[in-house]
Amino acid sequence: MEKPAKIRDVAKAAGVSTATVSRALSNPELLTERTRNAVFEAVRKTGYRVNQAARNLRKQQSGAVLVLVPDLSNPFFSTILSGINSKMTASEYSVLVADSSVPDPDTPLSSYFLNARVDGMISLDGALTQEELNGFGTNSANRIVFACEWVHNAEFASVRSDNMHGARMAIQHLHALGHRNIGYVSGPSQNVLTQVRLRGVLEEMASLTMAFGLISGLREHGIRVPDDISVMGFDDIELAEHFIPALTTIKQDRHMLGKRAADHLLARLSQEKQPLAPLIELVEVELVNRASTRPI
């Protein structure tokens, strides 16, 4: 049950100063090979591990980023989180999560920044109020990136699916099958009310569930899919292919949404001197043809 070694223990063991130990770890090229090796040997012997809390305090950083997820239990969002995490794992940042659906009056979101717990944030939640956004302070545009959802305030970077292209592909697909009467069952548009509805839809497992629900509903009324009517969804959650009939969908690459958002945040955190231009990146979508659509 020994106390963990600190930098002073290593310095003593190597016969150098703590400054030299610190340099061996962070800027080894500054030292002679001889000194460097002596430090490494001492590190090995003492089992020294740097204390991140101390390093962070001294460097005035937190070494963590926050990912704000509207609902952690919803695979639609957690797949994006997964993409974010895969990029962050390879960086020096830890990933901290918060769930907008879990109210916490004691710790408003901004406290993560104000209390120096995170250096930046990726938000999958586009329903942040202007007041909340103001709470992040003046430099927030360099520290916050939106993924999938976004806020209308244009100063924040965001990564989104190419929804427009997806919609076009869907229509073209149905048109090519000979369909001329095409309905669109949806909620989202541009105003705030429907934004809230969009939110609800996503929380109910994205629009695919609407397709599932639609098919079930049609079925109960004796209308068969795809014999009597073709149905397709937007989003390709994992079970779309197991559904009967397997659902034709426009597939969003949610993992990629997360990865690209992480890339942007990392880039911004590493060069936060001059404000970066706002940015909207579109991620390609894809049509996956299955059994729920067929020629007329």
Partner DNA sequence: CTGAAAGCGCTTACAG
Q: Which of a second copy, DNA, none does residue 71 bind (CB under 5 to 8 Å by kind)?
A: a second copy
Q: How far is CA 46 from CA 11, 177, 247, 253, 277, in A?
A: 10, 71, 59, 46, 47
Residues in the chain: 296
State yes or no: residue 205 binds a second copy (CB under 8 A): yes
Tokens of 111: 């406290």
State yes or no: residue 49 binds a second copy (CB under 8 A): yes
State yes or no: residue 35 binds a second copy (CB under 8 A): no
Q: Of the two residues 8 and 168, which places its CB atom closer to DNA in the complex? A: 8
Output the smallest distance, CB 50 to DNA, in A. Answer: 5
Angle (CA) 95 101 103, round 5°: 95
Tokens of 67: 């990912």
Q: Of the two residues 50 and 127, which places its CB atom closer to a second copy in the complex? A: 50
Tell me the window of 147-155, 184-192, 237-245, 263-271 that interacts with a second copy (CB under 8 A).
237-245
Site for DNA in 52-81 (CB under 7 A): 54-55, 57-60
Output the smallest distance, CB 132 to a second copy, in A. Answer: 16
Give yes or no for a cis peptide into 245 (omega within 30° of 0).
Answer: yes
Output the smallest distance, CB 250 to a second copy, in A. Answer: 19
Residue-wise burial string across 52-68, b where 16 or more C-beta atoms lie within 10 A, e elsewhere: eeeeeeeeeebbbbbbb
Strand-strand pairing, 157-161 and 94-99: unpaired
Q: Which of a second copy, DNA, none does residue 16 bind (CB under 5 to 8 Å by kind)?
A: DNA
Q: How far is CA 3 from CA 6, 9, 46, 89, 199, in A?
A: 9, 11, 11, 28, 50
State yes or no: residue 18 binds a second copy (CB under 8 A): no
DSSP string, 6-28: -HHHHHHHHTS-HHHHHHHHH-G
Q: Which of 219, 223, 278, 280 binds a second copy (CB under 8 A)?
A: 219
Q: Which of a second copy, DNA, none does residue 20 bind (CB under 5 to 8 Å by kind)?
A: DNA
Residues in the site for a second copy, rule: CB under 8 A? 1, 4, 49-54, 56-57, 62-64, 71-75, 78-79, 81-83, 85-86, 89-90, 94-99, 102, 104, 107, 111, 114-117, 138, 205, 209, 212-213, 215-216, 219, 238-239, 242-244, 255
